């Protein structure tokens, strides 16, 4: 039989599924580890251990490229099952650590927002490492499907979904985007598990996913804090005033490190920032005339009077418009997400109905 998957933007996907009785008890199978499977302690050190093991992997480069690309996209029937098994065997220690970490009750970086902001540069490799682990879990799930091991595939999904939630405990927009990417990788795997011959009925497992998979409120609050730390001179200039030369310097800094980019100053090496800044300054003369009409409109919409606009230098107009628009967009996004019912299966992922 076939079923429809309803997802983001009303995407409809056809799945070939096989009839299966509802499990008894209804939640015999879960897509997140049950409380009885969770262990005390924090997961962060274990994920760090997994990230380090990835760097020291013994898988040859050709096989690694397949693990991160070809074997994710090939049709199941075309996968070289024994080659997959051998590759995953070489990554057994990594997967064991991930399975253990995903069953810890919390991620566990107990830091104040200021402390967390200071260690952001050290966390730059995390997003890519989490995505790499998710891809390996997806390949393992596909091997379980080829082996007809539905329970093994379901346990692999648990590790992936739990890892996504752990990633989301970190209060940055980057990690929020990454956890959505991780969840979507697991959603793709779940759709394949659902269609495997002899698959158990995962209907109640899907419906048992929490209505709010994660709380994004702290992400936007932390983003506001980082914004203030990135551009303290702007916060001061708005309240105390600044010279045209100071506004010009701020404009060059913003063009070199826009706050809407995760490669902003807090994530970038100082030498890289300097290189970007010099390049950006060369382009300012060309950009500014085009930006000023838009800047005036944005500030006018934000309640700035015409006399005040006339008193501003071109650089001040551009800086105020860019950063005020960013803050407005951030708060509007946070507001809308706060009002949304936001079930992960219908708002950010997919669910079989």
**Across residues 235-259, what is the average pLDDT?**
78
Strand 351-352 and strand 2-6: the pairing is antiparallel
- Give the model's pLDDT for residue 251: 81
- Mean pLDDT, the chain, rounded, equals 80
Kindly report, residue by residue over 160-173, the tens digit of the pLDDT: 999 998 988 887 77
Kindly report, residue by residue over 39-85, the tens digit of the pLDDT: 998 999 999 999 999 988 889 999 999 999 999 999 999 999 999 99
Cα–Cα nearest to 101, from 169, 188, 149, 153: 169
Helix (H) or strand (E) holding 12: strand 12-16
Q: Is 109 helix (H, G, I), strand (E, B) or coil?
A: coil
| Strand-by-strand arrangement of the 2-6 sheet | 12-16, 2-6, 351-352
For residue 185, the tally of other CB atoms under 10 A from its CB is 21
- Give the model's pLDDT for residue 343: 39
CB 160 within 8 A of CB 180: no
**pTM, whole model, 2 decimals?**
0.71
Q: Would you kindly state where each structural domain of the chain is located, as residue ranges?
A: 2-209, 222-337
């Amino acid at each position: 039989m076939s079923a429809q998957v309803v997802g983001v933007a009303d995407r409809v996907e056809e799945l070939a599924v096989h009839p299966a009785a509802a499990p008894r008890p209804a939640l015999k199978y879960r897509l997140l580890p049950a409380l009885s499977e969770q262990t005390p302690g924090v997961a962060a050190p274990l994920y760090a251990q997994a990230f380090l093991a990835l760097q020291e992997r013994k898988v040859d480069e050709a096989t690694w490229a397949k693990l991160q690309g070809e074997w994710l996209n090939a049709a199941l029937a075309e996968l070289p099952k024994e080659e997959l098994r051998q590759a995953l065997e070489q990554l057994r220690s990594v997967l064991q650590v991930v399975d253990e970490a995903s069953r810890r009750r919390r991620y566990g970086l107990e830091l104040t927002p200021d402390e967390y902001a200071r260690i952001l540069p050290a966390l730059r490799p995390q997003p890519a490492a989490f995505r790499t682990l998710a891809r390996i879990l997806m390949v393992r799930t596909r091997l379980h499907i080829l082996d007809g091991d539905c329970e093994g595939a379901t346990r692999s999904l648990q590790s992936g979904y739990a890892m996504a939630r752990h990633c989301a405990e970190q209060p940055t927009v980057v990690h929020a985007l990454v956890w959505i990417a991780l969840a979507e990788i697991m959603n793709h795997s779940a759709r394949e598990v659902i269609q495997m011959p002899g698959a158990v009925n995962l209907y109640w497992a899907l419906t048992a996913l929490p209505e709010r998979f994660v709380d994004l409120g702290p992400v936007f609050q932390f983003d506001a804090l980082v914004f203030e730390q990135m551009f303290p001179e702007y916060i001061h200039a708005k309240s105390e005033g600044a010279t045209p030369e100071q506004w010009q310097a701020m404009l060059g800094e913003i063009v070199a490190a826009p706050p809407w980019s995760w490669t902003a100053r807090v994530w970038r090496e100082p030498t890289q920032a300097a290189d970007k800044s010099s390049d950006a300054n060369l382009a300012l003369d060309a950009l500014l005339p085009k930006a000023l009409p838009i800047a005036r409109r944005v500030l006018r919409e934000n309640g700035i009077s015409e006399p005040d606009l006339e008193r501003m230098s071109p650089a001040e107009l551009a800086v105020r418009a860019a950063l005020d628009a960013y803050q407005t967009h951030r708060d509007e996004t946070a507001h809308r997400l706060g009002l949304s019912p936001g079930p992960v299966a219908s708002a950010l992922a997919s669910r079989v109905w």
